[in-house]
Structure 1
Amino acid sequence: MVEHSVANENFFTESNKIEWQPLSLTLVEYPKGDLLGKFFAFMSLAPFGIGAGFVTLILFRRDLHTISFFLGTLVNEVINIILKHIICEARPLARGNLYNEYGMPSSHSQFVWFFSSYVLYFFIIRLHHINNNNIISLLWRVIIVGSCISLSLIVSAARVYLHYHTTSQVVVGAIVGIIFGTIWFTIVHRVFTPFFPQLVSLKFCEMLMIRDTTLIPNVLWFEYTTSRQEARARGRKMAALKPTQ
């Protein structure tokens, strides 16, 4: 019993000597009792939700354009890390010694504005051939693009409100995100897309069931009508196989 107590005491002594470092990637703090701060803290986690959505879409749809979009977000993060270590500007003093990493430019701001700018270009350029006279289609575009831009504004404001970044760090992050979003969409649209048909014909892509939906005007409507027709055809086939009474 005495040996057990001594062992526990030694364990806690050693634990107290260890310097614990918080994982800044997901850690978000807000002033206690501040509802707006709590809302901003939740909204600061939006990039991780978007990342999870990318993984889900890639696993279930396996579309080359979605994969290219996701690769762009990864390259965007690498650029942010490089810029931070080149500029070496610290975060606001109000955060104390919570973070050791630099704050210029804001990675959250750069991510959400890259995402929003890419989505904007996608709807304006990639989906330009969808019937614009359809009020429902037009309204759906406005809602999606407006939601992305609103989310970007909220996340950017949250990083300043919660003292994780200065205003200049957030603004620079937004500018870099928009610029790289423009560049990456141009690369995907002009350089990568023409090679998509050849890529999907490769044996490796066939094994992973990777597909190219570039030439399909409205993917959602195409998948909906295709699945409905297939379900009806199978239903008729099953009905024909049933023995007559």
Structure 2
Amino acid sequence: MADTEGNKIEWQPLALTLVEYPKGDLIGKIFAIISLAPFGIGSGFIALILFRRDLHTIAFFVGTLLNELINIILKHIFCEKRPLSRGNLYNEYGMPSSHSQFIWFFSIYVLYFFIFRLHHIYNNNILSILWKVIIVGSCFLLSLIVSIARVYLEYHTTRQVVYGALVGCLTATLWFTVVHRVLTPLFPQVANLKICELLMIRDTTLIPNVLFFEYTKSRHEARTRGRKLAALKPIR
């Protein structure tokens, strides 16, 4: 394709979402699909923030953005190229792996969240513990698969993926400490700000099981409204 002056236009791939795999390689195709997990997680964050508007969810999301910023800075510090097979598609650096850093940040933060945030004396029954193990285990399994996929698809070297994972774990630890020790005590005051009231941003820190709380409140409200509507119906 050429522009109005007849010059050939050079097309630049959007490396953020472009994922390739060897044609006919089923494992490569599965790995390519799983490599898109960070974008699904990011979309989930946006949906949760829009519909739940919880301060801790917002803080978690801010942490992922800071983690990505750190990754960009480190890439421009190390200036290490991707594997040679990807040299013709990618101009950006590969050290450390952004996918690996993101997914391990997410998993480690979730682990800390379940250990410290959801630890409650009335919330430690067998079923609750089982769900925690399943969720955290699934996050770590996803992180491992994404990390392997980046090497298998030759987007990164093993070293780049390992360093990405280490940086993600370290960043998650530091950010969770900041959120848990510094920001969480401030959440009640932040939630009372006029702007937060206007945007219906809330703090659910003191509620041990938010899902069960919202479920019981919605059932109670539905039954109450149902009784009121039944009382307003005319008697024939």
Q: Same-fold call, TM > 0.5? A: yes
Give, in whole Å, the separation in 2 of the partners of 1:130 and 1:144: 20
* 1:127 matched to 2:113: no
- In structure 1, list runs of 5 or more residues that go unmatched: 1-8
Aligned in 2, Cα 1:62/1:10: closer, same or farther, shift over 3 Å? closer
1:63 aligns with 2:59: no
**Does 1:80 pair with 2:71?**
yes
Confirm or deny: 8 A CA contact 1:90 1:102 kept in the other structure.
yes
Q: Does 1:191 align with 2:182?
A: yes
Q: Aligned Cα RMSD in Å?
A: 1.4
CA drift at 1:18: 1.1
Give TM-score, length-normalised by structure 1.
0.94
Letter matched to residue 84 of structure 1: K
Matches for 1:206-217 after TM superposition, within 5 Å:
206-217=197-208
Deviations 1:23-63 (A, max 9, x none): 00000000000000000000010000000000000000000
Q: 1:146 aligns with which of 134, 137, 149?
A: 137
2:31 to 40, 58, 62: 40
Match of 2:12 among 6, 21, 28: 21
For residues 101-126 of structure 1, what are the alpha-carbon distances to aligned partners after superposition, in whole Å with 9 as ceiling and x for unaligned? 00000000000000000000000111
Comparing 197-206 with 126-135, greater Cα deviation is found at 126-135
Query: C-alpha separation between the residues in 2 aligned to 1:66 and 1:119?
Result: 11
Question: Where in structure 1 do 4 or more consecutive aligned residues deviate above 4 Å?
Answer: 9-13
Cα separation, partners in 2 of 1:10 and 1:220, compared to 1, 3 Å:
closer
| Corresponding position of 2:153 | 162
Structure (1 or 2) with the larger CA radius of gyration? 1
What amino acid is the match of 2:47? T
User: 2 CA distance for matches of 1:142 and 1:37?
Assistant: 28
Q: Quick one: percent identity of the two aligned structures?
A: 77
Per the alignment, residue 178 of structure 1 pairs with 169
CA distance in 1, matches of 2:112, 2:14: 34
Q: TM-score, normalised by structure 2?
A: 0.97
* 8 Å CA contact retained: 1:130, 1:217: no
**Equivalent-residue separation in structure 2 for 1:20 and 1:43 (angstroms):** 26
Spell out, residue by residue over 1:155-214, the C-alpha distance to the aligned partner (whole angstroms, 9 max, x if none).
Answer: 000000000000000000000000000000000000001110101111100000000000
Matches of 1:121 and 1:10, distance apart in 2? 53
Shift of 1:131: 3.6
CA distance in structure 2 between the aligned counterparts of 1:131 and 1:201, rounded to whole angstroms: 28
**Alpha-carbon spacing, 1:131–1:169, altered in 2? closer, same or farther (3 Å):** same
Q: Where is the helix percentage greater, Structure 1 or Structure 2?
A: 1
For structure 2, the 5+ residue unaligned runs are none
1:6 alignment partner in structure 2: none
The whole-number CA distance in structure 2 between the counterparts of 1:205 and 1:96 is 47
- Residue 97 (structure 2) pairs with residue 106 (structure 1): yes
- 1:97 offset after TM fit, Å? 1.4
Query: Secondary structure of 2:220's match?
Result: helix
Contact 1:131–1:137 at 8 Å: present in 2 too?
A: no
